[in-house]
Amino acid sequence: MEINVQEMLFMFLGGLGIFLYGLKSMGDGLQQSAGNRLREILDRFTTNPLMGVLAGILVTILIQSSSATTVITVGLVSAGFMTLRQAIGVIMGANIGTTVTAFIIGIDVGAYALPILALGSVFIFFFKGQKTTNIGKILFGFGALFYGLELMSEGMKPLRSLETFHELTVSMSSSPLLGVVVGTVFTVIVQSSSATIGILQGLFAEGLLDLDAALPVLFGDNIGTTITAILASIGASVAARRAAATHVLFNLIGTAIFLIILPLFTQFIMYLTGVLGLEPKMTIAFAHGTFNVTNTLIQLPFVGVLAMIVTKLIPGEDVVIEYKAKHLDPVFIEQSPSIALGQAKEEVIRMGEFAVKGMEETHSYLKTKHQQHANMATQIEEALNNLDRSITDYLIRLFSYRLLLS
């Protein structure tokens, strides 16, 4: 059988583009429906690593991207909103949250992709109101995701008769490390583990890969997705680079553990498939979920050890600007409004000190052109904006309370 390479590539690349756009559209719709309070969720609900895991899962489900969650987390660490230990929990949770996409794909409603896509378009273009538009984005993204998968799957079918591809899959079955490398490299190129897992589900469903070859590729997909956090941490603070390094280390350790127990893990997934009667795509989804949940359970008790390792790997003193207000205790608003006013004054003075420091850093950058001064000036500017909002909100609450009493 003669393979039309151009048609195969066009269908695969076009399908991949539609899939990625659908994923983004669905994530945007979910994020806007959640009220765009994702940063606040990560800031407030990460008091300990376990809460961090739960926050990471929730935010990743809402935006359908573990990479985006990790980038937000790296930014929060860089800004001093979050400690490295808290960030590690969020990163672990993001790895679990991203498995939801694989389960959605496993439902396999490809036959209804176009009607769902059309319905989403109707909601977007023919109805007014932000809520309706958000629902439209979710539906459009959902339909586009499955339509993209259908195109990719159709494009990959001719690979059955390609001898080179057959030899590669045999090699990956006998050499799991090769599968890990293939998964890592492909995810680094695409920069979306959800997309590469979706492709893997398609290959497995078409019988182009067996489970022995598919599982190492799945592990590699999880390593490859860390590239986004690495890129986000370039030029950032030491703490941000440590958070990104933790993401890499977490997935490398998990992959090493699962490669050691690969025969056992393969048998477990085959047993699960038989007992639950799973479709091929859902088999990969369960494997992905099991890998990330188990990896988190194994490494969660060692958050302190992970933090110590990345601190050793990336040495240096990190100057972190404290974004959070130090003096604005809400208790004083009701108990002693005069003290509350004094506290607000202290915070305004602190804000002024930040402004002076920001001017000094800007001046230093103009003289030396050293990037660390520019980074510090930007960080201080964000801190000033945050303090401005916090002080304003505190004073509004204070004077609203005093008006109620008068």
Average pLDDT over residues 232-243: 76
What's the CA gap between 289 and 181, in Å, rounded?
A: 20
Closest by CA to 63, choosing from 174, 132, 141, is 141
Domain termination residue (choose one: 270, 285, 320): 320
pLDDT value for 236? 66
Query: Within this chain, do residues 392 and 299 fall inside the same structural domain, yes or no?
Result: no
Same domain, 245 and 380: no
d(CA 240, CA 313): 13
Sign of the CA dihedral 379, 238, 319, 340? positive
Structure confidence at residue 31 (pLDDT): 72
Boundary of a domain, candidates 320, 351, 373: 320
Q: How many domains does the chain have?
A: 2
Q: Is 179 in the same domain as 276?
A: yes
Is residue 84 domain-resident?
A: no
Let me know whether 339 and 299 are in one domain.
Answer: no
Q: SS3 of 109, please? A: coil
Question: Do 98 and 66 form a contact (C-beta atoms < 8 A)?
Answer: yes
Segments forming the whole domain that contains residue 311: 172-320
In a domain, 88, yes or no: no
- At residue 15, the 3 state secondary structure works out as helix
Judge if 246 and 276 occupy the same domain: yes
Q: Where does the pLDDT of residue 287 fall: very low under 50, low under 70, confident under 90, or very high at 90 and above?
A: very high
pTM, whole model, 2 decimals? Answer: 0.76
Residue-level pLDDT at 350: 87
**Above 90 in pLDDT, residue 93?**
yes
Residues 341 and 292 in one domain: no
Kindly state whether residues 224 and 356 are assigned to the same domain: no
Three-class secondary structure of residue 220 per DSSP = helix
Of 296, 320, 344, the one marking the end of a domain is 320
Collapsing DSSP to helix, strand or coil, 83 comes out as coil
Q: Write down the pLDDT at residue 359.
A: 92
Query: Which stretches of 165-314 are assigned E, i.e. beta strand?
Result: none
Residue 136 included in any domain: no
pLDDT of res. 272: 93
pLDDT band, residue 260 (cuts 50/70/90): very high
Does residue 170 have a pLDDT over 90?
A: no
